[in-house]
A and B are shown apart, each in its own frame.
Chain A
């Protein structure tokens, strides 16, 4: 196995996540695309952890932290989407233009 094959997959996942964040209108799907980007970061961390033979396994530990923070982010994100939906009857981020001048 080479290191570059994992980095390339991570870069592809990150780019697709970016594409999803830009093009999606639905708030839940934007959060899902952000999850793809975080998964790409995790792949990079774990593959470099193995590549550098880190005795402290810092890459894997940080991947665990990212997983925990992603769970927190999704929990808050879905709560916000629910509140917006209750007030606006829509999960479309383009309709949230109340503060537009």
Chain B
């Protein structure tokens, strides 16, 4: 595998675009887990997920990237916002969104250690290996593979999604008859 030095890395234009993407992504992720405003936290999740979609586009995975935009930003985040609006207690019972520092400090320590272990192992394994020049993945190629080789898992996922949505409706439905659940 071809490797690259740091100066050559900074000379490549795609890496500047990468940094332009990665800083908002990490900032959005950071604010998602730390923000004290619940609506802002979910809207910062849009920034983080939009950054991952842009990274998929950089990697030539256009179909996955736009799927992330449509499914995550278009549907999942809206679902989060609806969940927030419904569970927002008018009494202000849920104003504290995070634990105190007795939980935060060990959690931060654990996260940093986990990140360090993954980063160390991956740098040891892959070093400065370049991604070879690649052609962007055509959506027609994705379709050919998805509906040929992976058609059975695809159908299984479809049934899981159907069952989950029916189950979600069944769980969240109001019982008008007053029967016990």
Specify the main secondary structure of chain A where it touches its partner. Answer: helix
Write out, one digit per residue, whether chain B residues 150-170 have a CB within 8 A of any chain A CB (1) or not (0): 100110011011001101110
Given A12-B115, A19-B111, A25-B99, do A60 and B52 touch, yes or no (CB 8 Å)?
no
Bitwise interface map of B from 14 to 49 toward A, beta carbon under 8 Å scored 1, else 0: 110010001001100110110000100110010011
> Residue of B at shortest CB range from A59?
B61
Q: Which residue of B lies closest to A5 (CB)?
A: B18
> Quick one: which of A19, A28, A73 contacts B108, CB cutoff 8 A?
A19
Q: Which residues of B contact A63 (CB under 8 A)?
A: 56, 61, 64
CB of B82 within 8 A of CB of A17, answer no
B76 pairs with A22, CB closer than 8 A: no
Residues on B with beta carbons closer than 8 Å to the beta carbon of A96: none
Within 8 A of B (CB), among A60-83: 60-61, 63-65, 67-76, 78-83
* Interface size in chain B (residues, C-beta < 8 A): 93
Q: Is the CB–CB distance between A76 and B126 below 8 Å?
A: no
Q: Please classify the interface of chain B as helix (H, G, I), strand (E, B), loop, or mixed, using the class held by over half of its residues.
A: helix
| Interface residues of A, count at CB 8 A | 70
What is the interface of chain B, defined by CB distance below 8 A to chain A? 4, 9, 12, 14-15, 18, 22, 25-26, 29-30, 32-33, 38, 41-42, 45, 48-49, 52, 55-56, 58-61, 63-64, 67-68, 71-72, 75-76, 79-80, 82-84, 86-87, 89, 91, 93-94, 96-99, 103-104, 106-108, 110-112, 114-115, 118-119, 122-123, 126-132, 134, 137, 141-142, 145-146, 149-150, 153-154, 157-158, 160-161, 164-165, 167-169, 171-172, 174, 181
Q: A19-B108, A50-B131 are in contact. List 6 more A-B contacts (CB 8 A).
A: A4-B128, A17-B33, A42-B52, A67-B72, A70-B72, A89-B93
Q: Which A residues have a C-beta under 8 Å from some C-beta of B?
A: 1-9, 11-20, 22-29, 31-33, 35-36, 39, 42-43, 46-47, 49-51, 53, 56-57, 60-61, 63-65, 67-76, 78-83, 85-86, 89-92
